[in-house]
Amino acid sequence: MGWGVVEGDGRRYSLVAYGSIRAPAGLKFSTRLSRMCSGLEAVIAEHGPDACAIEDAFLATNVKVTMKLGQVRGVVLLIAERAGLDIHEYSPRLIKQTVVGYGNAEKHQVQEMVRLLLKLKAVPAPHDAADALAVAISHFHHAPFRERIAATAK
């Protein structure tokens, strides 16, 4: 599971940190979820983010994969809620549209745009971390609009 921390003022943003939380495939799935939980809690404790932006659920071709991704998302949402973070979900298509300008962009195009937008020398690795940074960048682009809409609804 990739993660990325980006800071900014709504117009500009910069990289704080990124990485991934690994849980070996040989472990029971519940043990892997527990490791992801502990790892994400440590990231939140270290970096103290204000918000959690997460990729919205999507259907994989394999039902078992879709179910496991849903369980991982559930863990992430629970941890973010318990940490008191604002939670924002973005569809994969919107993330690609925001970062690349094309909703059907390929993974390597998203990774390269993340590198350029964050002024990095190399594409963030592993690819899960680059994906997480793309979600964070999308959040910086869309959060101000969500805040304005919420303010007018009050």
Instruction: Give the model confidence (pLDDT) of 104-125 as tens digits.
Output: 999 999 999 999 999 999 999 9
Beta bridge partners of 19: 3
Has residue 85 got a pLDDT over 70? yes
Residue 62 banded pLDDT, cuts 50, 70, 90 = confident
Please tell me the pTM assigned to this model.
0.90
Residue partners of 148: CB distance under 8 A and separation at least 6: none
Question: Domain of 97?
Answer: 2-153
Percent of the chain with pLDDT over 90: 78
Q: Rounded to an integer, what distance in angstroms lies between the CA atom of residue 93 and that of residue 30?
A: 30
Q: Rounded to an integer, what distance in angstroms lies between the CA atom of residue 38 and that of residue 1?
A: 12
CATH assignment of the domain containing 46: 3.30.420.10
pLDDT at 143: 79
Has residue 150 got a pLDDT over 70? no
| Residue from 44, 31, 36 nearest 20 by CA | 36
pLDDT at 61: 78
Compute how many other C-beta atoms are within 10 angstroms of the C-beta atom of residue 102: 12
The number of domains in the chain is 1
